[in-house]
Amino acid sequence: MVRVQVWGSLKPAIGGDDSVEVEGETINDLLKALSEQYPGMAEAVRRGVSVTVNGEMYANAVMVPVKPDDEVFILPKLVGG
């Protein structure tokens, strides 16, 4: 299980907490599991998110491996100028 933390306004989507544990070995696994378990997360994932793993930001490289003790954050999809 990997603990996934979400940005504040996504808390209601995962039941009110700021994090939740889900099964997965890659970012893709985690996003898929979150989407299946929490409909509110499914919409956020569909619209696009960025994910940090141990502080490293991944915009759309979803096959990045994750381990149970990794720090994983889901954030809004980044754009730049």
Partner 1 sequence: MNVQPDNKAMKRDFDIVGKRTPRPDGIDKVTGRARFGADMSMPGMLWGLVLRSPHAHAKIKRIDTSKAEKLNGVHAIVTSKDFGPCDDSLLDIRENVMAREKALYDGHAVAAVAAVSRSVARQALKLIKVDYQVLPHVTDVDEAMKPDAPVINDKLFTKGLDKTPKKPSNIAERFEFGHGEVEKGFKEADLVIERTFRTEATHQGYIEPHACVASMGADGRGEMWVCTQGHFMVRNTCAGLLGIDVSNLRVTASEIGGGFGGKTTVFIEPVALALSLKANRPVKMVMSREEVLRASGPTSSSSIDVKIGMKKDGTITAGDATLRYQGGAFPGSAVPYGAMACFAPYDLKNVRAIGWDVIANRPKQAAYRAPGAPMGAYAIESVIDELCRELKLDPIDVRLKNASSDGSKASYGPNFGVIGLKATLEAAKNHPHWKAKLGKNQGRGVACGFWFNFGGETSVSLNVNVDGTVGLSVGTPDIGGSRASIGNMAAEELGIPHDKVRCIIADTASLGYNDVTDGSRVTFASGMAAIQAARDAIGKLCERAAKIWGIPVDAVVWEKGHARPASPNAGKHEPLSLADIAAQAGATGGPIAGHCEINAEGAGVSFATHMVDSEVDPETGHVKILRYTVFQDAGKAVHPSYVEGQFQGGAVQGIGWALNEEYIYSKDGRLQNPGFLDYRIPVCSDLPMIDTVIVEVPNPGHPYGVRGVGETSIVPPLAAISNSVSDAAKVRMTRLPMSPPNVLKALGRI
Among 1, 7, 17, 65, binds partner 1 (CB under 8 A): 7
For residue 32, the minimal CB distance to partner 1 (Å) is 19
For residue 23, the minimal CB distance to partner 1 (Å) is 21
Angle at 44 between CA 63 and CA 18, to 5 degrees: 90
CA dist., res. 69 & res. 41, Å (int): 22
CA dist., res. 75 & res. 78, Å (int): 8
12 sits near partner 1 (criterion: CB under 8 A): yes
1 sits near partner 1 (criterion: CB under 8 A): no
φ/ψ of residue 67, rounded to 5: -120, 160
> Are 63 and 29 in contact, with CB atoms under 8 Å apart?
no
39 sits near partner 1 (criterion: CB under 8 A): no
For residue 55, the minimal CB distance to partner 1 (Å) is 5
Which residues would be at the binding site for partner 1 (CB under 8 A)?
Answer: 5, 7-12, 52, 54-61, 64, 71, 73, 75-76, 78-81
